[in-house]
Amino acid sequence: MVMRKSVVAFFAVLPPVACMALFTQFSFSQDLGQVHEVCSPHEGRCLTIRPPRVPATLNWKMPRTRDGKPDFTGVYAGAGFNHQVGPNDTDTPIIRGFDAKIMPPTKPGGDAILFRPTTGDLKIDDPIALCLPYGFTSQIFSPYAQQWIQAPNHLVIRHEFMNNFSRVIPLDNRPHPTDLEPTWGGHSVGHWEGDTLVIDTVGLKEWWLDNPHPNGSLWHSDAAHVIERVKWVAPRVVSYEVAMDDPKIWTKPWTEQFHMVLHPTWELLEFVCNENDRCSQGNCVESDAQKKR
């Protein structure tokens, strides 16, 4: 009799337990962070940032290489997107920059380096309009695909924009050269701290910090020292943290955290800016399609 009651009880609770298990496995999802507003300094643009929403999975394992390191190989939507992880790859490209709320006060003279009011000279106001490099750190906010290719001793990051801008990063924590000529990509070296990849960059040319602004542009100096910290946090989602130390501009370093979302279906396309830049600087060139026969 007791046995029969136990059997009945078992079958009575089975359906709800099974439903809960299915719900947990397939329906429950979590947001990696809060919806928040990001505004650029100097009355810049504001944008609502939506964190990635990921399905809960019980059996996810961090991708790893043969030598046991976290494997970041793949094509990503980076910080230049509002992310929504789902079956339809619906990440949305956005035009955003670093968050003014996170930045500490500037040093005397620092603000004149950081913010350049609109001049009328596109090389200052909007260099990418001249097909010049976006450069690092602007490249962080590229609203295009980026491809990470990881080998045991090197990481290669290829961006679709601008002109397939690429970074080749040794992962052996070698010292930076002491006589660096500043470049748009700077000099990067990487090392591992547990499952976190740390990339240290110096040697940057004084150039755009992030993205176009309504009334000017933001810049970092040639003293910028940038440390990126990258780690897997969920299926398809990587935490991407940027620590900026620019002693010519700010009174102390600051850090902002973003997400990158892996897109297995994406491919990086060729991007040649000069190919058909028809209205550069506001003067349009007539296309063959517009010429009178």
Partner 1 sequence: MTGKFLSLTAASFVVLLFTTTPFIAHHSEAAQFDTTKPVKVSGVVKKVEWMNPHIWFYIDVKDEKGNVTTWGFSGLPPGMAIRKGFTKDTLKVGETVVVQGFRAKDGSNNASGNILTFADGRQVFPGALELGTVPANKP
Query: What residues line the site for partner 1 (CB under 8 A)?
Result: 39, 43-48, 82, 88-96, 122, 125-126, 128-129, 131, 143-145, 160-161, 212, 214, 266, 268-273, 275-284, 286-287, 289-290
Smallest CA-to-CA distance from 228 within 254, 197, 184 is with: 197
Smallest CA-to-CA distance from 91 within 81, 99, 101, 100 is with: 81
In whole angstroms, give the CA distance from residue 189 to residue 180: 13
Which residue number, 37 or 172, has a Cβ lying nearer to partner 1?
37
Which residue number, 31 or 277, has a Cβ lying nearer to partner 1?
277
In whole angstroms, give the CA distance from residue 20 to residue 243: 41
Which residue number, 159 or 225, has a Cβ lying nearer to partner 1?
159
Please report how close the Cβ of residue 91 comes to partner 1 at its closest, in angstroms: 8
**SS3 of 251, please?**
coil
Please report how close the Cβ of residue 219 comes to partner 1 at its closest, in angstroms: 17
Please report how close the Cβ of residue 39 comes to partner 1 at its closest, in angstroms: 7
Which residue number, 108 or 282, has a Cβ lying nearer to partner 1?
282
In whole angstroms, give the CA distance from residue 137 to residue 118: 20
The sheet carrying 216-220 orders its strands as 115-117, 216-220, 207-208
Please report how close the Cβ of residue 251 comes to partner 1 at its closest, in angstroms: 22
Residues 6 or more apart whose Cβ sits within 8 Å of residue 33: 51, 52, 259
Residue with tokens 């919806």: 35
Which residue number, 45 or 176, has a Cβ lying nearer to partner 1?
45
Please report how close the Cβ of residue 268 comes to partner 1 at its closest, in angstroms: 8
